[in-house]
Amino acid sequence: MSDEGLTDRALQDLLNGDPQQGWRAFIDQYTPLILGVLQRSGIRDRDEMLGVYTLVAERLVANDCARLRARRAAGGSLAAWLAVVVRNVVVDWVRGRAGRLRLFAAVQELPETDQQVFELYYWEERRVAEISGILSTKRAREFAVTAVLESLERINAVLTERHRSELLSTALRRRTPEALESADGELVVDPPAPVLSPEEEALRAERDRQLRRALGALPAEDAAIVRLHVEEGLTLPQVRSALRLDALTQSRVQGVLARLKQLLMEDRRDPSHA
């Protein structure tokens, strides 16, 4: 075996031929990746990390490594598939420990639409253009990208450092996990992508292009501020540090967002983009 370990195909063949030997090779090769995903998910306590690691291992080794052996190579690399499985286990573990996800009291005081935006943005990691499409469909009327940006401004205004720390440390900014078994107990190895109708897909793509065009019309530094503060959810101090902009103020950020919303409105009125 090379220093880089077995290839996906070689490991799959080994698992199919001798599940026990394949499992030992898998654990030896992929334990660092599993622990890395757990750490990036916000789990720092050694005992908690080992506990979740054990949950991951139990799922994967069950029934002679059935999930590993049934994985479809066409669904992507083993490392990418494994990262999804581990993140799903983390979310299950967090929810099992903390119960149903609850909105912060400060967010509960915001309008219902802002609460929906919070859930989509922070809990499901949806992009701004995606949120626009989802809420447009749910409300049966247009919920523009500009409306999402305004909602995020109101949300960010009430979130404290404690709120943000809790979101990160408990790994709640994660997509809703997909079950590894279907309702009738059949094995589902590769989590399916959400299915959109052609019309919904076209609308989502257009909203995304609209936002890209507006960002492209901003100065590079302003576009970077938007991407970090709005799309990545960084706080103002974090944006200052990342971009080395010590003098960046909330007033400037609001000005950049106001210009972005203006560009989005102009883009919607431009017949060449119809």
The answer to whether 21 and 10 are in contact (CB under 8 A) is no
Q: Is domain 8-98 given the CATH code 1.10.260 in the classification?
A: no
> Which pLDDT score is estimated for 185?
44
The answer to whether 201 and 123 are in contact (CB under 8 A) is no
> Which pLDDT score is estimated for 16?
92
> Cα 181–185–191 angle (5° rounding)?
20
> Which pLDDT score is estimated for 18?
92
> Which pLDDT score is estimated for 145?
86
Domain boundaries, the chain: 8-98, 105-268
Structure tokens at 29: 């090769």
> Which pLDDT score is estimated for 187?
45
- Residue stretches of the chain with pLDDT short of 50: 1-3, 99, 170-193
Cα separation, 198 vs 31, whole angstroms: 40
Cα separation, 138 vs 133, whole angstroms: 9
> Which pLDDT score is estimated for 117?
92
| Model confidence, pTM | 0.49
